[in-house]
Structure 1
């Protein structure tokens, strides 16, 4: 992973964004020698957001099972029928 000082980002933003667009590799931005942020391209960010959304759905499903909030397969099909038309 590339690392860039925040001052370097300020001075070379156009070049850094061009490199990011070309290779899609996230860049760690540091400030005063400490990690401050990650710079990612739009496609990578959107892909990450989709993955996080899926993981949240899975976590909610696991919680429902733990709380015994479940239905039979037949009932699930019946409930989902209106969305699958």
Structure 2
């Protein structure tokens, strides 16, 4: 992963962004020697957000199974029938 100072980002934003789009490698931005932010490509960010949504759905499903909040296939069909028409 590439690491850049915030002052370098201020001075060379266009160059850093061009390198980011070419390499697709996130850039860690530091301030006063401490991590401050990550700079990531837009497509990569959107892909990560989609993956997070999928994982959150899986986690909700696992919680429902653990708490015994599940339906049989026939019960699910009956409950969803109003949306499947």
TM-score, length-scaled by structure 1: 0.89
Question: Which residue in 2 is equivalent to 1:52?
Answer: 52
Root mean square deviation of aligned Cα? 1.5
Runs of 4+ aligned residues of structure 1 deviating over 3 Å after TM superposition are 77-85
Unaligned 5+ segments in structure 2 are none
Higher mean displacement: 68-77 or 31-40: 68-77
Instruction: Tell me which protein shows more helix as a share of its residues.
Output: 2
Question: Which residue in 2 is equivalent to 1:61?
Answer: 61
C-alpha deviation, 1:81, in angstroms: 5.4
Unaligned 5+ segments in structure 1 are none
